[in-house]
C-alpha cells in the first residue's frame, strides 16, 4: 500500500485493499483541549494518531481512518482554546463513523480513545454497537485505570512518583509529546501542577472543571519529561491495545 491512511488514498486504492483482504479500520478519538502551559492542544489527538498507525502496522491488513479531533472536554473549558462536544454528540459521531466504514466491506473497527474524558463514552458506544452489529467486530481499549497503572509502573522504574507522572500534562504526557512532536513543546513553561492523589477529586473535577483542582491545568509535573521515556510509554500503551485486540479475536473464533 502507498499509505495506510484512508485520507491519503484514492477510492480505487481503498476498494483494491478491501478486495485483497484488508478487513480492519482503526482510528483514534482525541481532543482539542488545554494541556498545561507547555503542551499543544492537539496532544491527545497526536497520541491517538501514533497509536492508530502503530496498530495498523502491527496488525496487518488494516487501514487508518482520520482521527476524531474534538472530544468530551467540558471540564477543560475554563482554559482558552479548548473545544468540546456533548456526550451524545460523541456517541452519534462514533456510531456514524463505524457504520459508514463497515458499509464498504470491512468486518472490524478498532477505536482508540486517547483522551481520558472520552474513555467512558467510547466504551458505552462500543457496547451498543456490538449489540446492534453482532456480525461485526468492534474493539476498543477503554480501561483508563489499567493504562494509568501501566504508565505509573514505568514511571516508578525511573524513580518518578505517580503524582509527578500524573494524569494530564504531567511527566507521562510531556514525555510522550517530547517523543512525538518536540517542536510543539515549550519546556521553559513546563511546571508542577496538582501532584496529590487525584482519585477522590474526580467527581469534583468533572462537575466543577479542572481549574478547581489545578490553576495551570496540569495534573502531575511536566518538568521531568523525557522523550526516551515517552517512547516507552507509548509502546506500553500499544501493547495493551494489541492484547485487547488479540483477546477479542480469540473470543470470536468458534
Reported as a single tens digit per residue, the pLDDT across 104-113 is 999 999 999 9
Total of domains in the chain: 1
Full domain range(s) for residue 99: 6-252
Residue 44 falls inside a structural domain: yes
Scan for cell 479500520, then name that residue: 25
Q: Please state, in angstroms and rounded to a whole number, the distance separating the CA atoms of residues 156 and 115.
A: 22
Residue 47 falls inside a structural domain: yes
Residue 100 falls inside a structural domain: yes
Count of H helices and E strands in the chain? 9, 4
CA 4 to chain centre: 19
What cell was used for 243?
A: 492484547
CATH code, domain with 128: 3.40.50.10310
Residue 232 falls inside a structural domain: yes
What cell was used for 202?
A: 474526580
Residue 51 falls inside a structural domain: yes
Prediction pTM value: 0.95
Residue 1 falls inside a structural domain: no
Residue 150 falls inside a structural domain: yes
Q: Please state, in angstroms and rounded to a whole number, the distance separating the CA atoms of residues 185 and 199.
A: 27
Query: Per residue in 186-222, pLDDT tens?
Result: 999 999 999 998 888 888 888 889 998 999 999 999 9
Amino acid at each position: 500500500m502507498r499509505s495506510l491512511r484512508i485520507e491519503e488514498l484514492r477510492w480505487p486504492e481503498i476498494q483494491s485493499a478491501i478486495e485483497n483482504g484488508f478487513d480492519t479500520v482503526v482510528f483514534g478519538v482525541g481532543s482539542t483541549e488545554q494541556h498545561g502551559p507547555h503542551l499543544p492542544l492537539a496532544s491527545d489527538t497526536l497520541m491517538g494518531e501514533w497509536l492508530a498507525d502503530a496498530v495498523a502496522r502491527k496488525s496487518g491488513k488494516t487501514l487508518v481512518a482520520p482521527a476524531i479531533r474534538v472530544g468530551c472536554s467540558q471540564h477543560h473549558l475554563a482554559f482558552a482554546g479548548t473545544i468540546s462536544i456533548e456526550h451524545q454528540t460523541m456517541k452519534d459521531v462514533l456510531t456514524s463513523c463505524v457504520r459508514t466504514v463497515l458499509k464498504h466491506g470491512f468486518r472490524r473497527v478498532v477505536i482508540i480513545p486517547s483522551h481520558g474524558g472520552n474513555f467512558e463514552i467510547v466504551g458505552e458506544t462500543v457496547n451498543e454497537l456490538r449489540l446492534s452489529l453482532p456480525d461485526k467486530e468492534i474493539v476498543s481499549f477503554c480501561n483508563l485505570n489499567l493504562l494509568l497503572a501501566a504508565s505509573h509502573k514505568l514511571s516508578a522504574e525511573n524513580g518518578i512518583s505517580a503524582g509527578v507522572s500524573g494524569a494530564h500534562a504531567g511527566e507521562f504526557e510531556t514525555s510522550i509529546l517530547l517523543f512525538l512532536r518536540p517542536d510543539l513543546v515549550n519546556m521553559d513553561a513546563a511546571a508542577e501542577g496538582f501532584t496529590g492523589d487525584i482519585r477522590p477529586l474526580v467527581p469534583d473535577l468533572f462537575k466543577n472543571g479542572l481549574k478547581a483542582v489545578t490553576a495551570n491545568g496540569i495534573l502531575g509535573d511536566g518538568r521531568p519529561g523525557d522523550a526516551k521515556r515517552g517512547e516507552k510509554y507509548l509502546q506500553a500503551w500499544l501493547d495493551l491495545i494489541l492484547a485487547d485486540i488479540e483477546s477479542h479475536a480469540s473470543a470470536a473464533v468458534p
